[in-house]
Amino acid sequence: MAVKNAHAGHRERIRQRFLDSGQDGLFEHELLELLLFYARPVVNTNGIAHALNDEFGSLGRVISADKSDLQAVKGVGAGGAAFLRLMHDFGTNYLRSSHNAETLTTLEQLCACFEEQFRDTAAKVCSILCMTSQGELLRTVTIPVSDLINRSISPKEIAALILRSNAASVCIGLSHGDGLPIPDNSDFTVTHSFGELLSAIGVSFRDSIIFGGGKSFSMRSKGSFAF
């Protein structure tokens, strides 16, 4: 008599629990396992999900991890890493759209906006808020800090993104992940570059805000950058 596969129907049971109860019906590693079903359709993803959770600590940190760090976990592969990053970008785009037409007139509102964007982000990224002169949010663009430092994306391309949004003012946010929100060389470099770029295209530079470890640091209000 053939031995019954112990994992037969496992994927369907996980899917059905999600359909019946939503994310509250699954543990974090099971949600991650469910995501990986679609990236690794013929691989047992349970062990991979546990390994990712152990490595990064939470589902949010797995989704926001760098592609190279994800691929370093056995079983994830290039396809799995790309899929997880895609989930992160979809979520980020949804978050951005939910903030459209929001008015950000105070430092507290700007910090709260960046806190929501960066809450589960381990990677060092720069978020660009394109706003009207009254602080109405028109568009948000997120770029890895390394791409700004290395000029993988040129100032001309950044200027085009900002001008296409018809922005009159810009505020940038710089994520430090779990680190303290203390300006480092890359923060000064990026902030100085934006200061020059925005001055050249006639767009006001509201602030450069660093977020890390659940706290924020306004470079304008702390006098850390000559705007």
**75-102: per-residue pLDDT in tens?**
888 888 888 877 777 766 655 555 555 6
d(CA 166, CA 2): 67
Q: Which residues contact 70 (CB under 8 A, 6 or more apart)?
A: 52, 62, 76, 80, 81, 84, 85
**Fold classification of 101-218 (topology level):** Cytidine Deaminase; domain 2 (3.40.140)
User: pLDDT tens for residues 3-40?
Assistant: 444 455 888 888 888 887 777 667 778 888 888 888 78
148: helix, strand or coil: helix
Q: What is the mean pLDDT of residues 209-216?
A: 92
Domain boundaries, the chain: 11-93, 101-218
**Fold classification of 11-93 (topology level):** DNA polymerase; domain 1 (1.10.150)
d(CA 170, CA 132): 8
Question: Do residues 34 and 14 touch, judged by C-beta distance below 8 A?
Answer: yes
Give residue 226's pLDDT. 63
What is the side-by-side order of every strand in the sheet holding 125-131?
137-144, 125-131, 169-175, 204-212, 215-218
